[in-house]
Structure 1
Amino acid sequence: MKIKLLLLATLIVFSSCGGVKKYNEQIGKLHSPQELKDDVDAAYNQLKKYHPRLYQYTSKEVLNFKFDSLKQSIKTPLSSRDFYEKLSPVIASVRQGHLVISPPNIKRNRKERKEFREKAFSFYTMKFEYLDEKLWLINAMGKDTLLIGSEVLAVEDKSPKELIEKYNNLIASDGYNKTFYDGFVGSRFPGFYIKNNGFQDSIRITFKNTDSIFTQTILWKNKKDAETISKDSLAAGVGEKIAVKKLTKEEKKAKQIKKYNSKRGYIASTKEYTRTFSLIGTDSLTAYMKIRNFSNGNPDDFYEETFNTIDSLGITNMILDLRNNGGGSLAEIDDLYSYFTDSPYTLVRPSEVNTRTPFFPFLINNTNPGVVQGLAVLFSPVILTHNLLKTKKVDDTIYYRFKASKEHKPKPNNYKGNLYVLVNGNSFSASSILSTQLKGTNRATFVGQETGGAYNGTVAGLFKGYELPNSKVSLRIGMMQVETYYKVEPDGYGVPVDKEITPTRADREAQRDPEVEWVLNDIKIKG
């Protein structure tokens, strides 16, 4: 038996190596026009099969024309990456921000993966902002902190403006919104650059700081050689430093840090917290809560602790900062909203789907590892029962019932004071759904820019991954229309603001936050 198991393990290793080699050869070659046309058809068929609102913003006739025109334009062989750049604008014309297309990347065998995991690339941890049609480095780690505040003049031989305009053409916001693009690509610039250029051993960036122009070559380094920052002092919010109290016993300190980090959702790669809370203002105390996303940590405990503090202090003015919040958990925003209302509420409507069993295409697809697909098959009776209980067909339309689509009660310690919500084009997905609920109930004053996510909802929830058979370009297709309880016309725009403010580079250089400053001044005026 031991010999058989050893032989099986050896066979798996060799077949894996062979599969990696075959895959890399596949994505490295030129594909014939017919192969690429077949991939175009495969992509469109997947969209028609799984996307519940494919023609919400672009008509069927127009979308048919775009896919047909793309096929007719392919007359010579193309690489996978060149094909990706042709297909992306057509996929983006669906105007659904959660619909993502990605070029293939090389695969690595086990030894190569191990070596790769031991290396770090500081470019990934850099944070950028695109303001005044220029790209600025706003945060970095280790020695790269010396570069913070610099303008990026070039990445290799391309200007940031040229690159961002190109990447904007390859993505979509929800509907017709315009605030999403520059902010989204700028804040995620390293990810977009690597995605669209593939793996590189190094990246050469030209910076400008005051009157000095210099070039920095960023290399992959062994993690043990990369500089780290202590967890005891981390940037958390506007003018706030979070310090973990030092304890006498190391074990007790580690336990406290773990609990503290869990509540706030510690982000190890950037040494930041997902959720922070502080008191700001001089004339009167104003609660300031910054939520970077709705995805990690233990939010229930954080919100309970925070609103208990607000209640005990009798605070009557609060800022909820959702700027650059790309979304996340529907359950978390449902829980958070329950602290902002004193009436029973429903967050979203039942979600339109194209199948009674949406969890199967989510789990069983050619982008998921074999072990995930195997487990899905093993537990298929449980998954099937769950899906059938959660879905219902009404007049030829299938709906999936989220927990958030049921009526919920407010929290006993709900906040009844004045609420200001800060948003911008990077406020997307779940943060836009929360904003819609607050806007629809006239619960808050909105400051900043129109949200990048649509007021009336978005197609997300579960995603079907699909790798095209020839080019290996992949799609991530949203399968659930997460529709907000409150709706407006016309459809396809974000949550509007009551006071529009667009930050400038001068604000950043002066370390000013114009949105927060406006809110504090408005609180002062209103007494």
Structure 2
Amino acid sequence: MALILCLLLLLTSAFPSFAQESTIYQPDAMQKDLLKFKTALINTHPGIYEYQTPEEFELFMNQLNLEASKPLEAKTFYKIVLKLIAKIHDAHSGAHPYKALGKVFKNQKRLPFQVFIKNQRIFIVRNMSNQSIPEGSEIISIDASLSNNIVSEMLKHYSADGISTSGMEHYLGVSYLSFSKTYPIVFEAKPTYQITYKDYNTREIVTKTVASISRAEYVETELKKYSSNSKKFKEKAFDFKINEEEKYAYLQITRFFKDSFQEPESTYPDFYSTCFKEIETKGIKYLIVDLRDNDGGKLSNAAHLLRYFVDKPFTPTNEITTKGNDEYYLETIGDTLSFNSDFGLERKANGDYKVTNSDYLTELKVFEPIEKYGFDGKIIVLIDGGASSAGGAGPAILQEYTDAVFIGSETFGTAGVGNGINKTYIYGEYTEVAISIPLMHSDIAINEHLKRRGVLPDYEITNSIHNIINDRDVILEFAVEKLFEKKD
């Protein structure tokens, strides 16, 4: 399923009206909900101990309980739960404010910048403030807190799949977890911020006060100033073109579903067929597959692409497992989830259950090579920290089964320790914070030693702030100019 991060739950159930900003939670209430979350994670999360031992998790929970041992504002408790989820290093897990607290965060003002973060440095890409700060300027500090300290603190509250940090730095620059709206969550939300920056044009160090703005003001100003709004989720799921002059094909896939998960299974196979028919007709021997910022979707749609590059049958996913069946989940979380009937669960020797019904989860099926229009030329795959969920697993199987050259930066993850197929939501009984837990794990059919982090490129190439503000794509340039050199 597509990775959808940091969506705030705004439930419509009735709740007393009061000033939520000043709501204070008592230690007993917070610690009871922390215990509820801890128990649910241990009982249901498929990868709770992937990046920590049970002993380490227990120590961390003790630390969080200590933080919650005094009365705290509701927003502060939410930050504690964010740290709990970030500790798992699974991006399909989440922490969510709801009811009145959810409305507080929905209406909370944000920093007036879109940023680019790299190596704990923060650069302004778009400036929606009323201050004349040039695009490309580097933020040195916010309210006297240095940029590297800011990024380090952000990474305690938000994490990518695994323990690599480059993917999370990438995500702080895009709409899902944009720095503009997550900074006031992790740090204090204020009417104004003191920004010290290095001016992109003059190289001078300047300090200015900028006002926070609402989401509506942010969107309106950005559209007026830049003629577009930055969105990670692209309108077009895929694109294809052939460069007649350089004799190479360019295939861009921004997600592995076009319009919905219920769309016809033939959607991507039909698109690929059209592309590779044209490639063969025109005798193209060089192909760039651009999977940067791919949001995910169905891994089977990545597998259908791989069919054009292989000569043997393959199965992209070894197995999909979950911790229990309907009876187990009814006992542990109070919901059967209809897993037995939907997925044909079968008990494993270790007590977990595996999916045997592949009608819906087609990534468990065997995929045959496509002989007609099969491609035997040179393949270049472009990746970055925005390639997540199936968007990260897709490059992983391409790397496993082909000799494609990978250019860019490490992906957000391969498949994490959970997937987005099914989630459960555990709601605090005494606080207005909930957590979401993925209930299934996909064991992607790649080398065992490559599963705990994202796909790594053969050539580490990243755009700099200078490239970004000048609208230059050096990753694509490198692919074309360096790796498509033709020898007579």
Same fold (TM > 0.5): yes
Asked if 1:291 is matched to 2:253, the reply is yes
Contact 1:39 1:469 in 2 (8 A): yes
Deviations 1:409-460 (A, max 9, x none): 2344333321111112332221221112111113311112222314786444
Please tell me whether residue 523 in structure 1 is matched to residue 476 in structure 2: no
Residues 402-441 of structure 1 correspond to what in structure 2 (within 5 A)? 402-411=361-370, 412-441=372-401
Identity %: 20
Secondary structure at the aligned position of 1:58 is classed as coil
Distance in structure 2 (CA, Å) of the matches to 1:291 and 1:205: 37
Contact 1:468 / 1:474 at 8 angstroms: preserved in 2? yes
> 1:75, 1:122 → 2: CA distance?
30
1:350 equivalent in alignment to 2:319: yes
Report the residue type matching 1:495 in the other structure.
Answer: V
Cα distance in structure 1, aligned partners of 2:232 and 2:352: 43
Bigger CA drift: 431-440 or 207-216? 207-216
RMSD of the alignment, in Å? Answer: 4.4
Paired amino acid for 2:397: Q
Deviates more, 1:64-73 or 1:434-443: 64-73
- Which residue matches 1:49? 43
2:94 pairs, out of 100, 104, 107, with 100
Alignment correspondent of 2:180: 190
**Aligned pair 1:316/2:285, yes or no?**
yes
1:36 aligned partner, one-letter code: M
Pairwise CA distance, 1:46: 0.8
Does the 8 Å CA contact 1:449/1:497 hold for their aligned counterparts?
A: yes
1:20 counterpart residue number: 15
TM-score normalised per structure 1 = 0.71
Deviations 1:84-120 (A, max 9, x none): 22343343222323222234463699xx9xxx9xx9x
Structure 2 CA distance for aligned equivalents of residues 29 and 463 of structure 1 = 29
Task: Give the direction of change, closer, same or farther, for the CA distance of 1:65–1:34 in structure 2 (3 Å limit).
Answer: same
Task: Report whether the alignment pairs 1:79 with 2:69.
Answer: no
CA drift of 1:154 comes to: 6.7
2:164 corresponds in structure 1 to 177
1:391 aligns with: 345
1:32 aligned onto 2:23: no
CA deviation vs aligned residue, 1:105-152 (integer Å, no higher than 9, x gap): 63699xx9xxx9xx9x9989x7532136443344689x99x9755555
Q: How does 1:366-515 map to 2 (within 5 A)?
A: 383=338, 386-387=341-342, 389-395=343-349, 396-401=351-356, 402-411=361-370, 412-454=372-414, 458-489=418-449, 492-509=452-469, 511-515=471-475
Equivalent residue for 2:276?
307
Residue 210 of structure 1 corresponds to which residue in structure 2? 201
Shift in CA distance, 227/210, structure 1 to aligned 2, threshold 3 Å = closer
> Displacement of 1:50 after TM fit?
1.2
Q: Deviations over 1:181-220 (max 9, x none)?
A: 3222233323424654799999998885524977765456
* SS of equivalent to 2:425: strand
Residue 481 of structure 1: SS of its match in structure 2? strand
Q: Deviation at 1:278?
A: 3.0
* C-alpha separation in 2, matches of 1:393 and 1:98: 24
Mapped to 2, the partners of 1:457 and 1:209 lie a distance apart of 41
User: 1:405 Cα deviation (Å)?
Assistant: 0.8
Establish whether residue 67 from structure 1 lines up as the match of residue 100 from structure 2. no
Taking the aligned partners of 1:455 and 1:223, their CA distance within structure 2 comes to 33
Q: Which residue of 2 aligns with 1:275?
A: 238
Match of 1:9 in 2: none
Are the structure 2 counterparts of residues 270 and 351 from structure 1 closer, same or farther at C-alpha, using a change threshold of 3 Å?
Answer: closer
Q: 1:398 to 1:17 in 2, by over 3 A?
A: closer
**Which one of the candidate residues 151, 154, 175 is aligned to 1:164?**
151
Checking the alignment, whether the CA contact within 8 Å between 2:13 and 2:99 is kept in structure 1 is: no
The residue aligned with 2:6 is none
Moved more, 444-453 or 294-303: 294-303
1:131 correspondence with 2:91: no
Verify the 8 A CA contact 1:455 1:495 in the aligned structure 2.
no
Distance in 2 (CA, whole Å) between partners of 1:196 and 1:204 is 17
- Corresponding residue SS for 1:451: coil
- Distance in 2 between residues matched to 1:281 and 1:83, nearest whole Å: 57
Which structure is larger by alpha-carbon Rg, 1 or 2?
A: 1
Report the equivalent of 2:3: none
User: How many residues matched?
Assistant: 452
Which deviations, in whole Å up to 9, do the C-alpha atoms of 1:257-304 show, x marking residues without a partner?
xxxxxxxxxx9898753423233485x322222223334437525434
Distance 1:174 1:224 in 2: 29
Unmatched tracts of structure 1, length 5 or more:
1-15, 236-266, 367-375
Letter in 1 for 2:483: D
Gap change, CA 1:487 and 1:222, over 3 Å in 2: closer
Task: Give, in angstroms, the shift of residue 471 of structure 1.
Answer: 2.2
Aligned counterpart, 2:304 = 335
Do the aligned residues in 2 keep the contact of 1:319 with 1:420 (CA within 8 Å)? Answer: yes
Give the structure with the larger helix fraction: 1
Unmatched runs of 5 consecutive residues or more in structure 2: 1-10
Q: 1:289–1:321: 8 Å Cα contact kept in structure 2? A: yes
Q: Measure how far apart 1:170 and its partner are.
A: 0.8
Query: Cα gap change, 1:223/1:57 in structure 2, threshold over 3 Å: closer, same or farther?
Result: closer
* Alignment partner, residue 5 of structure 2: none
Structure 1 residue 26: deviation in Å? 7.1
**Whole-Å Cα distance in 2 between the matches of residues 75 and 473 of structure 1?**
17
- Paired with 1:489 and 1:399, the residues of 2 have a C-alpha distance of 22
Partner of 1:250: none
Tell me the equivalent position of 2:8.
Answer: none
